[in-house]
């Protein structure tokens, strides 16, 4: 028996593995069948192109989308809730937070290691905060709770003046300088 075409040769050796459909033809990366209908399957962590016969024989499943991802792709994204205390604008970190923390810790008779243990933080976090580094929101909440102090306060507008707070026409730079010169002379 002489076979002169690769397709006939493959069909002769592979039997039913050759599922011919002109719409999605490819080569099976498992058995080597050429010009067969293939689909992407996972073998371990690798994605390979496999014919239906090899997929069924090896018990591998077609590549699909995880159910959670498929569901999430059809849903509208929800707006994220902000849990950042300092970003909400209602309250801000006090300027002397480091001194307040040190004073409250010393009043309780705790060292930095004890405070870190009670707050479930590392000692270097407490050292950084006490040296003046701005703490994260979660650290602020823990310190307020453990030391029974307030580190967040409503911002005061002392010394702040909006430029256009006067008449409806607004204040010009010249008006501002004239007002500042008048305030200096008074």
Identify the pLDDT of residue 88.
53
Question: Do 147 and 108 share a domain, yes or no?
Answer: yes
Q: Is residue 53 part of a domain?
A: yes
What's the token pair of residue 55?
């997929």
Q: Is residue 103 part of a domain?
A: yes
CB 135 within 8 A of CB 129: yes
Q: Is residue 140 part of a domain?
A: yes
Q: What are the φ and ψ backbone dihedral angles of 142, each rounded to 5 degrees?
A: -65, -45
Question: Do 90 and 149 share a domain, yes or no?
Answer: yes
Helix (H) or strand (E) holding 47: strand 46-51
**CATH code of the domain containing 143:** 1.10.260.40
Question: Do 104 and 53 share a domain, yes or no?
Answer: no
What's the token pair of residue 160?
């702040």
Question: Do 95 and 146 share a domain, yes or no?
Answer: yes
| Those residues with Cβ within 8 angstroms of residue 1's Cβ, 6 or more apart along the chain or in another chain | none
Question: Do 51 and 101 share a domain, yes or no?
Answer: no
Per-residue pLDDT 10s for the chain (186 aa) are 444 555 554 444 444 333 333 336 788 888 888 888 888 887 777 788 888 888 888 877 666 666 666 666 666 666 655 555 555 557 888 889 999 999 999 999 999 999 999 999 999 999 999 999 999 989 999 999 999 999 988 877 655 555 555 445 567 777 888 888 888 887
The structural domain count of the chain equals 2
Question: Do 10 and 56 share a domain, yes or no?
Answer: yes
Q: Is residue 31 part of a domain?
A: yes
Q: Is residue 166 part of a domain?
A: no
How far is C-alpha 183 from the chain's CA centre? 50
Q: Is residue 182 part of a domain?
A: no
Q: Is residue 162 part of a domain?
A: no
pTM of whole model > 0.85?
Answer: no
Q: CA–CA separation, 133 vs 142, rounded Å? A: 16
Question: Do 111 and 146 share a domain, yes or no?
Answer: yes
Identify the pLDDT of residue 17.
38
Identify the pLDDT of residue 144.
92
Q: Which domain does 129 fall in, by range?
A: 86-153
Identify the pLDDT of residue 1.
45
Q: Is residue 21 part of a domain?
A: yes
Identify the pLDDT of residue 23.
34
Question: Do 106 and 51 share a domain, yes or no?
Answer: no
Question: Do 59 and 91 share a domain, yes or no?
Answer: no
């Amino acid at each position: 028996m002489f076979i002169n075409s690769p397709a006939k040769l493959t069909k002769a050796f592979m039997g039913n593995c050759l599922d011919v459909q002109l719409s999605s033809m490819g080569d099976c990366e498992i058995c080597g069948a050429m010009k067969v209908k293939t689909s992407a399957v996972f073998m371990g962590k690798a994605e390979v192109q496999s014919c239906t016969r090899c997929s069924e024989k090896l018990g591998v499943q077609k590549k699909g989308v995880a159910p959670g991802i498929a569901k999430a792709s059809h849903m509208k994204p929800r707006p994220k809730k902000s849990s950042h205390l300092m970003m909400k604008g209602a309250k801000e970190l006090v300027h002397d937070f480091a001194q307040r923390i040190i004073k409250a810790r010393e009043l309780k008779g705790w060292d930095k290691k004890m405070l870190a243990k009670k707050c479930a933080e590392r000692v270097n976090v407490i050292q950084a905060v006490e040296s003046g580094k701005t703490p994260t929101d979660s650290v602020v909440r823990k310190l307020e709770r453990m030391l029974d102090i307030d580190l967040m306060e409503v911002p005061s507008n002392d010394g702040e003046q909006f430029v256009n707070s006067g008449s409806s026409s607004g204040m010009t730079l010249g008006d501002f300088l004239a007002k500042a010169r008048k305030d200096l002379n008074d």
